[in-house]
Every structure is written in C-alpha cells, then in structure tokens.
Amino acid sequence: MTLSHSGKPGPLSDLIVIDLTRYLSGPYCSLLLADLGARVIKIESPATGDDSRYVPPIFDGQSAYFMSINRGKESIALDLKNEEDRRVLDSLLNEADILVENFRPGVMDKLGYSAESIAQRYPSLVYGSISGFGQTGPWRDLPAYDLVVQALSGMMSINGQPDGPPTRVGTSIGDLGAGIYAALAIVSAIHERARTGRGGRVDVAMLDCQVALLESHYMRYHASGEVPGRIGSRHPLITPFDTFECNDGYLVICTVGDAMYQALVKAVGRPELASDERYLTPQDRLRNGEVFKAEFEAHLKTANREHWLKVIGQAGIPCSPINSITDMSDSPQLEARGVFVNVESANGFSYKAVRSPMKPAMATSGAINETERAPTLDQDGERIRGELLKMAAS
C-alpha cells in the first residue's frame, strides 16, 4: 500500500511532494507542482506554521497572501526536533517523489537531512533546495531577501526612469523567478529518474535566477562593453516604441519600420511629422527620440486615451492601454483562458486568485478545480497520519 495521489488532473498527478518551504520562493515552486497535478504535503512548525500565515491582507480571518500561494496543498504540523514527528516525516519521504525546502544552507544538515543522508536513505527522491545564493560559493551563508537579490544582481540598476533612482521590480521577481526555475529543474530531474532510477539534487539560487533574467544586459556588457542603465519604457533600438501620456492615462505604441511610423503620424493628425527631417529614417528617429517623444506626447495630451487607441488601432499599429490591476480583473480574455481560480477560506468564503499559466494542467484528463482550499495549520495532519498507520499495518 502506498500514499494516495492527489486525485487532481494534470501531468504530475502521479507525484507526491513533501514541502518544507516557507514564505514565497519555495511555496511558489510547490504551488506550480500542485497546479500541475502533484499531491503537495506542506510540513509546518506546530507553534505558528509558515510565517506567511500572518501577512496581510487578512481575508475572512486567514492571510490571503498565504492562501493564494498555498491553495491546493495539504498541511501537517510536525516538530522536526521531536523524535516521533521525525518518524512521520521519514515515512512521508519514503513515499514521496520530491522534497523541496528553502531554508538557509546548513539548516537541513543540522536537522539531519543533509543532501548526502537523503541520497543514501531515499535514493529515488528528487531533493530540491532554493536559497538566496545557492549551496556553494563564498556567499552561500549570507541572508537574502527579494530586495537584496534584485539589488545585487543588477536588476534594480536597469529598472526605472533614466532620471530616477534604481527601482525594485514591482513584483517579487526575486522569489517568483527562483520558484519557477526550481520547478522546471525538479520536473526535469524527475524525468531523468525514469531513466536512471536515481533521484538527485536540485540547487537553485535566487541570485543566479535574477542574473539569468538579465541575460541580455550581461550579454550586452560582455559582448560590446556597454554598461546597461535605466531607459524607462522605451525600446533601446526603435523609436517610437514607448509609453505616451494622454489627457487621462497612459498607452503604449509600437512601430517597426518607416511605413508604420508614417501611418502613425497621419492617424493622429500630424502628417507633417512624416516628412520632418529629424524623423525620416529609423536612425534619425532613434537619435532624436527625446525630442520626438516630447512633441508627440504634447499632442496626445490634447485628447483621451480611448480616442487615441481607436485611431491608432484602426491604422493597424500595435498599441494598448497601460492597465491597472482593476482594469484587467474582468478581462474577457483572462476569463476565456481560465486564469483565475477561487480560493476558499476555512469558513467557505472565496476570492479569485491567479492560476499557474500552464494549459496542460488545465486541459488534460478531466475537469479542473474551479475552487480550491487553502489549508489551515495542520488541517490534514490527522488524515495523513492515519494514511501512514494504515500503510504500516498492511
């Protein structure tokens, strides 16, 4: 007898994940695995559980921050310094395909779950670790936050306006990036296991992931010596391909080539700009980009966004509003794509969270869940212990 699977549809529905992660990077990784069908058993400390259970906003008495990232998982409280609880964890690891954790390097070793000991005791287990700087290298023991890896990697240095300060990317890309790359590495290791029978070690560093997302900036520096800086929203090589302000909000316009440029200035009622010497060729427009932007934007500020989107769109030129979160929340496209999933509180109230954007999890073998539960601390503890007892008895 073995632990049962999630019963959810999805390509990973035959996998069991033991999840020791807290906060964001690790829990986002296991959320992706859960959305792809895996059964994820979250181990939490009995006293308080995952610290993110206390992060606002609070929705119907539970942290919505926690709920969004831990929906579709099970929770069992285990004290990893207690012998009996460790035996429960060991039994779970014996049944699992994947272990994932995001403690600081060294913590798992102290708890007795070093990579070496895991490899010896559970040779087919894939052991994924997410940390700020990785399990190796001179910085491995340093603490890291999303803000720290965004700062160190160079991410903040290239994000923002040219006349403004370096700026944190407004979403936690330091954590989320590491979570996605880690999920990819883990599923790849599971694929390799089918060939070799052996699990393996996955060691993902938040810093490495930020540098990976900056690949074009590092490339530019290494290949040409140019130091990338902040250029706001504009395209580095094409003008106009940027943000513009109207009298009631912002839009983006993307032109590629002379014909599209000429169609644009005609569409907005400034045909003389088509033959303006300063803007004749792509090179001219790039060189005089700042002047063009000031002149063109002054014109756009004479009317509203809806008007400009209509006339520019009708001319066949790619353009779009710069939406707020509110603007998109009821988008028919997101509705058609099934992007949102209801997350239910312990009392049965629900709000819309964002589903992972991977269609296979939604399309394969059976209907997807329209509503998911976010577990309260140890909500599944008794049932999971019961499963283990039955297994031991059989």
| Residues noted as catalytic | 235
Q: What is the Cα–Cα distance from 151 to 107, expressed in whole angstroms?
A: 25
Judged by CB under 8 A, does residue 152 bind a copy of itself? yes
Is residue 389 exposed (0-12), middle (13-18) or buried (19+ Cβ within 10 Å)? exposed
Interaction residues for a copy of itself, span 2-31 (CB under 8 A): 10-12, 14
In terms of Cβ atoms closer than 10 Å to its own Cβ (0-12, 13-18, 19+), residue 265 is buried
**Binding residues for a copy of itself restricted to 109-128, rule: CB under 8 A:** none
Site string for a copy of itself, 215-244 (x = CB under 8 A): xxxxxxxxxx-xxxxxxxx-x-x---x-x-
**Number of residues engaging a copy of itself in binding (CB under 8 A):** 134
CB-wise, 116 or 226, nearer to a copy of itself?
A: 226
User: 240: cis peptide before it, omega within 30°?
Assistant: yes
Residues 293, 162: contact at Cβ < 8 Å? no
Q: Which 39-68 positions form the footprint of a copy of itself (CB under 8 A)? A: 55-57, 59, 64-65, 67-68
Q: Which is nearer to a copy of itself, 113 or 181 (CB)?
A: 181
Residues 129-148 within binding reach of a copy of itself (CB under 8 A): 133-134, 136-139, 143-145, 147-148
Q: Which stretch binds a copy of itself (CB under 8 A): 87-95, 170-178, 272-280, 282-290?
A: 170-178
Handedness of CA 52, 58, 60, 64 (dihedral sign): negative
Which two structure tokens, joined as six digits, stand for 203?
């060691």
Closest alpha carbon to 209 in 170, 176, 238, 240: 176
CA distance 212 to 216: 9
Question: Per CB under 8 A, which of residues 174..213 are in contact with a copy of itself?
Answer: 176-177, 180-185, 187-192, 194-195, 200-205, 207-209, 211-213
In the complex, least distance from residue 391 CB atom to a copy of itself, rounded to whole angstroms: 23
**According to the binding rule CB under 8 A, does residue 309 interact with a copy of itself?**
no
Sign of the C-alpha dihedral computed for residues 28, 202, 204 and 48 taken in this order: positive
- 110/359 with CB nearer a copy of itself: 359
Contact between 245 and a copy of itself by CB under 8 A: the answer reads yes
| Nearer residue to a copy of itself within complex by CB, 167 or 288 | 167
As a whole number of angstroms, the distance between CA 66 and CA 77 comes to 16
Which one among 252, 260, 368, 377 touches a copy of itself, defined by CB under 8 A? 252
Instruction: Please report whether residue 346 would count as binding a copy of itself according to CB under 8 A.
Output: no
Give 367's DSSP letter.
Answer: P
